[in-house]
C-alpha cells in the first residue's frame, strides 16, 4: 500500500510519525513523509522518503518572536492560520499522486479511521472508561537517536536510582525565567535525582 504521512508542525509532531512510517516500511508499505523542510535530515536518517511541506516553523518563530508570549507553542492568528493551511492543501494533489486514496464520504469517519491510535504510555494516560470508538494504545512512538549520551550523563545514570528527566519541546521559549523557576520547584519539592535536557531553549539549570 502507498501511504502518505502529512504533518505540519515541529519535531514533536513529526518524530512520532517518522517512527510510524519506519514501522510501516518494515512491513512492506511504500511510505512518503510530508513535513516542514527543517525535518528532511531527520527523515533521511531513518531512510524515509521525504517531501518538504509547509513553512520552516523554527524560522517563522524567529521572524516574529513577539508573538511568543512566554509559552512554548507557536501562536498565529486565525487569519494567518487559515491562509497557512489553505496554501498547504493546494499542494497536496500533486504531492499525493499515486497514493491510495478513496473519496471522503464522511469526514468524521475518515478522520477517525477503523481504529484510533493512542500514542501515549498507559502509565501516563490510560483511556477513559466507556470510550465509544475502537482504538489501539501503542505507547509513545520512539525513534532510536543513534547518538550516544555524553560520558558524564551515563555515569550519573548508573550511580543511583533512575533520575527524573526534565525536558522541553522543540519550540523556542522566550521567557526562560518562568520555566527555570518551575524546574527549581521540581527540584525542591521532589528531592529526586534529575537530568535536565535543554534542547533548543536556554532555560537555566538549577
| pLDDT confidence of residue 134 | 86
- Residue 71's pLDDT band, with cuts at 50, 70 and 90, is very low
Q: Which of 56-60, 121-125, 150-154 has the highest mean pLDDT?
A: 150-154
Res 40 pLDDT > 50:
yes
Domain 2-101 has CATH 3.40.50.2000: yes
| pLDDT confidence of residue 60 | 65
As a whole number, the mean pLDDT across the chain is 78
> What average pLDDT does the segment 128-142 reach?
83
Measured distance CA(31)–CA(19) in Å, rounded: 12
Give the long-range contacts of residues 13-21, CB within 8 A, separation 24 or more. 14/39, 14/42, 15/42, 15/141, 15/143, 16/119, 16/140, 16/141, 17/141, 18/42, 18/43, 18/46, 18/48, 18/143, 19/141, 19/142, 19/143, 20/117, 20/141, 21/46, 21/48
Res 62 pLDDT > 90:
no
| pLDDT confidence of residue 205 | 46
pLDDT digit string, tens, across residues 170-187: 656 666 777 778 878 888
25-34, 63-72, 152-161, 183-192, range with the lowest pLDDT: 63-72
Read off the C-alpha cell for 58.
523554527
Is pTM beyond 0.75? Reply is: no
Strand ranges, E, within the chain: 2-6, 30-35, 50-52, 116-118, 135-137, 164-166, 194-196
Q: Where are the domains of the chain?
A: 2-101, 103-147, 151-196
- Residue 67's pLDDT band, with cuts at 50, 70 and 90, is low
| pLDDT confidence of residue 206 | 45
Amino acid at each position: 500500500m502507498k501511504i502518505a504521512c502529512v504533518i505540519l508542525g515541529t519535531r514533536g509532531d513529526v518524530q512520532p510519525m517518522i517512527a510510524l512510517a519506519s514501522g510501516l516500511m518494515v512491513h512492506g508499505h511504500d511510505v512518503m513523509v510530508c513535513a516542514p523542510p527543517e525535518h528532511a535530515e531527520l527523515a533521511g536518517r531513518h531512510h524515509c522518503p521525504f517531501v518538504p511541506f509547509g513553512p520552516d516553523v523554527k524560522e517563522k518563530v524567529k521572524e516574529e518572536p513577539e508573538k511568543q508570549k512566554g509559552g512554548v507553542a507557536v501562536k498565529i492568528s486565525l487569519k494567518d492560520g487559515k491562509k497557512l493551511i489553505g496554501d498547504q492543501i493546494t499542494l497536496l494533489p500533486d504531492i499525493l499522486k499515486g497514493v491510495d486514496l478513496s473519496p471522503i464520504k464522511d469526514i468524521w469517519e475518515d478522520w477517525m479511521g477503523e481504529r484510533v491510535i493512542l500514542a501515549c504510555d498507559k502509565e501516563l494516560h490510560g483511556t477513559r472508561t466507556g470510550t465509544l470508538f475502537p482504538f489501539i494504545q501503542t505507547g509513545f512512538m520512539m525513534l532510536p537517536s543513534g547518538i550516544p549520551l555524553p560520558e558524564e550523563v551515563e555515569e550519573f545514570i548508573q550511580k543511583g536510582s533512575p533520575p527524573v528527566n526534565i525536558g522541553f519541546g522543540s519550540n523556542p521559549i522566550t521567557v526562560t525565567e518562568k520555566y527555570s523557576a518551575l524546574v527549581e520547584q521540581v527540584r525542591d519539592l521532589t528531592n529526586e535525582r534529575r537530568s535536565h535536557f535543554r534542547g533548543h531553549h536556554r532555560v537555566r539549570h538549577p
